Structure 1
């Protein structure tokens, strides 16, 4: 089991020289005034902190009369999966500077704000995070003059690595929790998501509330994984809730997979399948299940299971079941 969060403490030695080297030209691929920490493994991926001595963006560039007018730039870098150029992962980071007492101060970033990391965009972080003038001020207690060092810290929360050739480019807020999706893939398979992501009223923050099924977030993830190219197998434990969501979000490709599973592999009762087909408005399948019912489906052994299903049916569907029961038992 991979850990979901960790932190990196990174001490930059010879800090004054590190800062002054920012104006030198790169040599052999090494950028002066830039350094990387050790890596930590979080949720199956290695992460490291990057630190740069950058010319000031927030204020005028450094001058001879004011050499401290620039900042330290920090970033979180995901080393990724070199064998899969389509991996993606979301992570939140909070950067800080550690004083001589061990306190983390001057915090930058929010652990509730998850950024997307991919093979083509593997680094995120606040620009010009810490002003050198504040870092070097003896009153703040950050710079260790004896060791000529400065210690930085980043706290990291990382979600699971996404593989299988699908790059997730959108985070949906499902009942208050983030779920990674590929909006183009969803829109290609569903008119609901086509309008949701690209319609006139599409919002930058995409939020969906689901109350049709228990454990909505897990079921929505299962819905996504049942699509191409994942095509994960369905089972009797999940098929009902996945079908209900697929029907709501007009994902016909998943509806068809659920129907195929119910007809060919599921051990659910015929009346349960009949009820699901009716609930989702799949008339042809509903009629087929009804006509294929046998006496065994109405037997005493199935009574209690059938009772829990029939109470969920409407008057019309109950009448159809009675007619089928009558046909079966009067034909003896």
Structure 2
């Protein structure tokens, strides 16, 4: 695969990075990461067995569909989380290209880390993928905000020293913040380049995907970041989409949903989360959540009221 910054500019590329700190933090012998690249789900697992590191890279593993395949270039890099070390080793036992389909959904092997024992707390394993051909999957529309589109772009946002080409009308239509910035009585409305501070570069690109017709779907891994920007930029429709997603995301921890519902004033999510608690056993399990002690007194008061309602309903049922 080509230069390291290719992943920033080629939308057929993607990467997944696993830190072996997870082994120590979770007392586990394996760790995994899942990500969609060009709408195709990938799963990357790194495990340890008898002092040897192994990997498994899966493509579309849980799909019942047999009418798909993709050809990808694969590069696995082994490095240190210590940025000062700068040591990166390329796994040299990888095929340069691999075709995945319903019969060949994964590849696996041993990660060559050299003769010296690896330091689990310091290692990072990154897999880089470049899709060369896809069949049977409709690609999500990709908008490249890094280049100027003469018929589309009419402004530049500067974040972390990098230019992002935008359409002021589209931003203003979806965000009260940008409407006031570009069309209100602010000096920025006449500037070609507008700097936005306190916002991450990748997070802003994510936000742009949800105010443009890209068809991108919300995922648990970034929904909180998206809500932070929707709240900051007063983008009500984006926040509504996040709330709708969270109401349907029953696998997500109830405590976390309650905290987000209060933080972002999501009344529908708050009602849904409280009403989803139907047994006293569920209330007992709430205390086992790692986020339990982050709940405010107001949330705990609402939980107490909900528990009281259930207790009264149970007593009426027993009469």
TM-score bracket for this pair, using the shorter chain length: 0.3 to 0.5
Query: What TM-score, normalized to structure 2?
Result: 0.48
Query: What TM-score, normalized to structure 1?
Result: 0.46
Bigger radius of gyration, 1 or 2?
A: 1
